[in-house]
A and B are shown apart, each in its own frame.
Chain A
Amino acid sequence: MSRLTSKFAALKASGRKALIPFITAGDPYPEFTVPLLHEMVRAGADIIELGVPFSDPMADGPVIQRASERALSHHVGLRKVLSMAAEFRKTDQTTPLVLMGYLNPIEIMGYEAFANAAQRADIDGVLTVDMPPEEAEHCVSLLRAREIDQIFLLAPNSDAERIRKMDAVGSGYLYYVSLKGVTGAGHLDTADVERKLQIIRQNTNLPIGVGFGVKDAETAGLIAGIADAIVVGSALITKIEENLPDPEMAKAGIIALLRSMRQAIDA
């Protein structure tokens, strides 16, 4: 069983919801990342999504775009991110780690080489924003053979047929993008998400994470009432951006926000 699947099983057994922070690897500089991952786990993160910087982040809003640009200015790309993941794993053998990014870095490395590298780094899941299930078969089979989950996104306009397609190809969890738009945009309509989750659950038994629009403890608490996992990204990265001259302040801000979310989720 993959680390993600057993994590969700354990959470379910104890009646808890997963808190999943997303940060871009190498933002604002490479050495910042691994210690932050460990601290996020201590602050209550159950799973971590680690963003692979990409030069052309088409599905991201300005906050994550700038995070990517900061990381790329230090030449943090897929190979460096894999080594960060391996370093994290040295002292944390339990927290599932998901790489989130775009397909081109994986294409250039080669699917098989990537699957092998991900296995060596002990990665648990891969979420590739611009790889829909129609184009995913080869990559998924290579990853699955190594007990690595391919995670897919669902959008507000995904119909039942699409949800079943994701259910068939994806594993670990499904990530429901709660609004039409890019990361960091708009605000969350909880009632709307709740309606949509009902339809999603009729078509899959995979755990459902909700992200895009979770900003604070309040929204995290609301989502915890309806989803299996709460994903928060831009709100954390904003802390980095607001404290560029003082990365320790940024870290403190991220940790405080995560703790408050954890409390709201568990309440």
Chain B
Amino acid sequence: MTDKYDMPDALGHFGPYGGIFVAETLMPAITQLNEAYQRYLQDPEFIAELDADLKHYVGRPSPLYHAERWSRELGGAQIYLKREDLNHTGAHKVNNTVGQALLAKRMGKTRIIAETGAGQHGVATATVAARLGLECVVYMGAVDVARQALNVYRMKLLGARVVAVESGSKTLKDALNEAMRDWVTNIDNTFYIIGTVAGPHPYPAMVRDFQAVIGREAKQQCLEQAGKLPDALVACVGGGSNAIGLFYPFIDDHAVQMFGVEAAGDGIETGRHSAPLTAGRPGVLHGNRTYLMADDDGEIIETHSISAGLDYPGVGPEHAWLKDTGRAQYVSITDSEALEGFHALTKMEGIIPALESSHAMAYVTRLAPTMRQDQIIIVNLSGRGDKDMHTIAQREGIKV
């Protein structure tokens, strides 16, 4: 186990997971994208432009904040929040859209498409498209359009066209299907900005590389502020981009434990959840092999989570690999537990987290008390909760 981690292989495999499983029409586009990704992520000029954008447009580095009051209250490990909620547009998603948009520009594409669940990735995509003056179409499940109305409005203000997807379960997976259909049809001028570490290779590796800035900063900040590496990392897992962004730079630091938190919805035992790593099985969806929620005929099962951003039946293939190898552990948190996590952070630290991130917070309330006070947890606060005010008020019977 002293070997350096170097996944994926040239065809995007993380062990048996990942790969390229797409219709033939997409193959040339994927080859072209892979070439651009391989070339520009080594290109000092590209990296310099990306770094400048991350600093001046996104507002990086994001702080690593020691939540002292909350840590004291829980009575165990010291909790540090990686403040991705303070990024421009309010979540980690923008780290990736800034990067992919720069690639799109280099590749001469004039039209951007994206799928979105919570709307955070859609907003982050519409934002960079506006900045670069590119046409932008965002696909969003009709159910999500209804529960994330504020983000729909933000995208429209930013000049994007939001298409409500009425097929299937009308959520994130269906938005992804529709975006893929658009991509095959408009392959010549269109760049598809996938919002998480899913999709065919190179997306899982590429999105990870763009999000890894989270973990690189966190590592350096932790060494500066606490004088040592953290003992545990915690992040919520929808597709898995904020989690892998935090985990990846620590993979070879074997003493650092990693916990990915899936959405247990109404409870794993009810079947109404979005936790493929906890309760799914390997299969192929959206261009890669990974853990999925599927029935015995291989049909994808409808998922459930209070947070639209975690409401996805698959998960990035690298998480499937990290689970099987035991390098990361995957746990799950129900809707009600997530709400408790939401209120805990809001009351104890004056920070209102996104419902997605609240799943990670809820797991921290369980984990921290089992650890010593000289130990450190870094939890990824992947986004801010403004977009969820309506959902939470409604759930708690309050009219706003």
Contact = CB atoms under 8 A, between A and B. Distances in A.
Interface of A: 53-62, 65, 69, 72, 75, 77-80, 102-109, 129-132, 134-135, 152-159, 162, 177, 180-182, 185
B283 A108 contact: yes
Best-buried of A69, A104, A182 by chain B (most CB within 10 Å): A104
B22 interface: yes
A104 B27 contact: no
A56 B285 contact: yes
A144 B174 CA distance: 34
A23 B29 CA distance: 29
Interface in B166-192: 167-168, 173-174, 177, 180-181, 184-185, 187-188
B297 A56 contact: no
B25 A157 contact: yes
A105 B287 CA distance: 14
A56 B24 contact: no
Contacts of A159: 28
A78 B283 CA distance: 14
Nearest to A212: B25
Contacts of A53: 299
Interface stretch (B220-228, B243-251, B288-296, B369-377): B288-296
A163 B289 CA distance: 25
Sorting the interface of chain B by its residue count into under 10, 10 to 19, 20 to 34 or 35 or more gives 35 or more
B181 A155 contact: no
Nearest to B166: A62
Best-buried of A61, A107, A131, A134 by chain B (most CB within 10 Å): A107
Nearest to B27: A132
A107 B24 contact: no
A106 B21 CA distance: 13
B247 to A, nearest CB: 26
Interface string B6-46: 00000100000001111111011100000000000000000
A89 B285 CA distance: 31
Given A132-B21, A134-B20, A157-B187, A77 B28 contact: no
B173 A56 contact: yes
Interface of B: 11, 19-25, 27-29, 167-168, 173-174, 177, 180-181, 184-185, 187-188, 281-287, 289, 292, 294-300
Nearest to B302: A55
Contacts of B300: 55-56, 104
Contacts of A153: 23-24
A177 B11 contact: no
Given A55-B168, A180-B187, 8 more contacts: A56-B168, A59-B181, A59-B184, A103-B21, A106-B298, A155-B23, A159-B28, A177-B25
Contacts of B296: 77, 79, 108
A23 B56 CA distance: 55
A158 B28 CA distance: 7
A4 to B, nearest CB: 19
Contact of B282 (A57, A107, A132, A135): A107
B28 to A, nearest CB: 4
A65 B173 CA distance: 14
Given A56-B285, A157-B28, A109 B298 contact: yes
23 contacts: A56-B168, A56-B173, A56-B286, A57-B177, A59-B23, A59-B180, A62-B167, A72-B299, A77-B299, A78-B298, A103-B284, A104-B284, A107-B283, A108-B297, A130-B21, A155-B28, A157-B25, A158-B28, A162-B27, A177-B24, A180-B187, A181-B185, A185-B185
Contacts of B168: 55-56, 69
A129 B23 contact: yes
Given A72-B299, A78-B298, A153-B23, A58 B286 contact: yes
Contacts of A65: 167
Contact of B298 (A58, A60, A105, A182): A105
Nearest to A77: B297
A132 B21 CA distance: 6
A47 B185 CA distance: 28
A62 B174 CA distance: 13
Nearest to B30: A132
A68 to B, nearest CB: 9
Contacts of B23: 58-59, 129-130, 153, 155
Contacts of A105: 297-299
A182 B184 contact: yes
Contacts of B184: 59, 180-182
Contacts of B20: 132, 134-135
| In the complex, the 3 A-B pairs of residues with the closest C-beta atoms, listed nearest first | A77-B297, A105-B298, A108-B298
B286 A77 contact: no
Nearest to B294: A108
B164 to A, nearest CB: 14
Contacts of A156: 25
A96 B292 CA distance: 33
Nearest to A80: B297
Contacts of A182: 181, 184-185
Contacts of B24: 132, 152-155, 158, 162, 177
Contacts of B287: 130
Contacts of A154: 24
Contacts of B289: 107
Contacts of A69: 167-168
A216 to B, nearest CB: 22
A76 B48 CA distance: 53
A183 to B, nearest CB: 10
A169 B89 CA distance: 47
Contact of B25 (A62, A102, A135, A155): A155
